[in-house]
Amino acid sequence: MKLIVFDVEGTLFQTLIRLPGAEIDSTIWQGIAHRLGDRAIKEEVATHGKWGRGEYRNYMEWMKDTILIHKKYGLTGAMFRELIDSAAYNPNLADAIRRLDRTKYEPVLISGGFRELAARAQRDFGIIHAFAGCEYFFGCDDLLCAFNLLPCDFHGKIDFIHLMLREYGLDAKKDWIFVGDGLNDVPIAKEAPLSFGYRPRAGLREVVTHVIEDFADLNTFLVD
């Protein structure tokens, strides 16, 4: 058996909103800013500039700044749930996952995005393992009151994969596959024995084993 590790935002789910200056595709982070209005968009874009200039020590610092924007402009649980529920899967993704031979491949979700979006895919496809960067908690007034963060992006994704490989007793040099789309997936794609870039951004395209433009093509590569 092997693990097949999927990124979530931009890979499983479509990115329909791209803020100017944002190099990382995001289904929900950028969708929230768009929903909260022009001032929230401006501040979100500014955080991407800070990231590009190396002003954050790590990904969790960026998340904390972004969460402050969500709280400042009044993100509600209703808005958040609507964004999660309306997110669209990429074409042919559902069929590709349903066709996986679960006796050979155990799917794992790894995301720098929201736990709630990963949980939706878990429910839809019967996936039992998922790690995500952020989880939101809303109070009785339906406003954001607390959150949970994990260092689950860029190099942090690799740590969670090694945890799962250890638990399954698998070999890190041969027993897993990665599927992703963005620049934040470059570290994990470089380490994976076999990697796929789904319509990948430049930077990832150069390091993956295979590029796929449609999830209908994924299963043709998954042969032992």
Range 166-172 contact pairs with CB under 8 angstroms and sequence separation of 24 or more = 168/1, 168/3, 168/106, 170/1, 170/2, 170/3
Confidence of residue 202 (pLDDT cuts 50, 70, 90): confident
**How many CB atoms are closer than 10 A to CB 6?**
26
Averaged pLDDT for residues 56-60: 94
- The number of residues making up the chain comes to 224
| Class in CATH terms, 2-15+89-221 | alpha beta
3-state secondary structure of 157: helix
Reported as a single tens digit per residue, the pLDDT across 77-87 is: 999 999 999 99
Check residue 97 and give its pLDDT.
Answer: 94
Check residue 155 and give its pLDDT.
Answer: 86
First to last CA, the chain: 10
Averaged pLDDT for residues 125-139: 97
Reported as a single tens digit per residue, the pLDDT across 139-175 is: 999 999 999 999 998 888 999 999 999 999 999 999 9
Encoding tokens for residue 75? Answer: 């993100």
Confidence of residue 23 (pLDDT cuts 50, 70, 90): low
Check residue 22 and give its pLDDT.
Answer: 66
Confidence of residue 52 (pLDDT cuts 50, 70, 90): confident
pLDDT above 90 as % of the chain: 86
**Residue that wins the pLDDT comparison between 145 and 17:** 145
Encoding tokens for residue 195? Answer: 């990697």
Residue 89 clears pLDDT 60, i.e. is over it: yes
CA 158 centroid distance within chain: 13
Q: If phi over 0 gives left and psi between -120 and 50 gives alpha, with beta otherwise, what is residue 126?
A: left
Q: Cα separation of 84 and 209, whole Å? A: 31
Check residue 24 and give its pLDDT.
Answer: 67
Confidence of residue 116 (pLDDT cuts 50, 70, 90): very high
Confidence of residue 26 (pLDDT cuts 50, 70, 90): confident
